Structure 1
């Protein structure tokens, strides 16, 4: 999927091509975005900026994705784009752009902001697995590699069941924000053959190895993603972990 097995996790309104380029030598993948694609989620994003949240709100979000991925052409990492939508057609268009660039399209089932959930995006998709499956299937039909980002500790939601839904719909990656339930990564890894990226609190060798010990295929770094010293430590831990797995 990508090497080294360290990714940058999307930071709303901040994770763009220049952010990825600044630390490109330390990671194997960068999830840009998130970006709101359709009218309902763009309205939600505007409301969120009124509460001083940072959001990408270009006039044409799909063209923005294309331009950002162009800016990463030749970078020593695999690009990815986290997208939010309440409707399928814009996700299909974004996925087609990602496919053309060899990038991963990531469906955001993670955002917990009230406005985004009320619009039918973000973590509301974890509660509506049939809808999530439709989004994943439509994106996968473009030939793109499809990721879903979701979070643990949502009442009434089983992440292993979500993982099985993603896999059955043709998805490839489950990007799991473990919150304070790190061991949920083991439950997800055991449930499917998806490529599992573990997120939350990854700050160095010890936290990376904890997630890898639970069966994660890679880890991602969120807020400290602009700190090379942290990324170096995380990469060292993951490199050594996987080297030991293949050693005789």
Structure 2
């Protein structure tokens, strides 16, 4: 599986259609939902970042997902909130469009963390699990975007917790700790694992797939057809290789993988 990871203020329906010939899934967003996360997003804009700040986030999400009806790519929506009810409301919108709702436990910007969003959720697994359960109750497919290298956070344990709460996908930004993907995959056998960070070509995609990821995602170069075409080919080659039966070496009877 190849996904396109959300890009702050840029990952909209048009962006997803651009990547549709190559990818299976595209996460729109991130989208700030409640007063606290929207205030943080406005502060980010004030210092030069791009953010989606529509007057009505849920109507915006509904329209963006509707714009992808019939597109050959499944949409997702990466959302941020300091409170649980907006997560449930966004998941309801996603369920209506057969879209994946992705809870953002990943962003590390100080403004978002101060509001209780992003990677702050990884330090509060109880609250994150409540978010996941609330989203899962709507019938939506639920992804959780997480990151490695946070002091005091046992990411495999957190992944196991969110999987038990109803997450269908754990989307791991591996940072510079790529082997953690294997640890997450080992403890979430019934949950799909997407691996992210530095995915550009066959070498980087196959590294994550070899660690047990079910797929990879492309972030910043997701608007570059050359990159996503290259990664898509690598994922297809991996899947084809995995599906082939082992062959026997006639010279000594060994089975070659």
TM-score w.r.t. length of structure 1: 0.97
CA displacement, residues 120-142 of structure 1 (integer Å, 9 cap, x when unaligned): 11000000000000000000000
Q: How far did 1:247 drift?
A: 1.3
Aligned to 2:21, what secondary structure does the other structure show? helix
- 1:137 and 2:161 are equivalent in the alignment: no
3-state SS of 1:133 partner: helix
**Which of 159, 170, 174 is the matching residue for 2:170?**
174
> Over residues 46-104 of structure 1, what are the superposed CA-to-partner deviations in whole Å (9 max), with x where a residue is unaligned?
01111101000000001111000001111101100000001111111100010010000
CA RMSD of aligned residues (A): 0.6
* Aligned equivalent of 1:73, options 37, 49, 69: 69
SS in 1 for 2:48: coil
- Distance (whole Å) between structure 1 residues aligned to residue 180 and residue 31 of structure 2: 27
Unaligned runs of 5+ in 1: none
1:14-163 matches, cutoff 5 A = 14-163=10-159
1:225 and 2:226 equivalent?
Answer: no
Match of 1:241 among 238, 242, 247: 238
Query: How far apart, in 2, do the equivalents of 1:135 and 1:112 lie?
Result: 18
Q: How many residues were matched structurally?
A: 244
The answer as to 2:3 corresponding to 1:7 is: yes
Secondary structure at the aligned position of 1:150 is classed as strand
Gaps of 5+ in 2: 246-257
Distance between the aligned counterparts of 1:28 and 1:104, measured in 2? 12
Per-residue displacement from partner, 1:123-169 (whole Å, max 9, x unpaired)?
A: 00000000000000000000000000011001111110111111110
Q: Scaled by the length of structure 2, what TM-score is found?
A: 0.94
**Superposition deviation, residue 23 in structure 1:** 2.0
Structure 1 runs of 4+ with >2 Å offset: none
1 CA distance for matches of 2:240 and 2:155?
Answer: 29
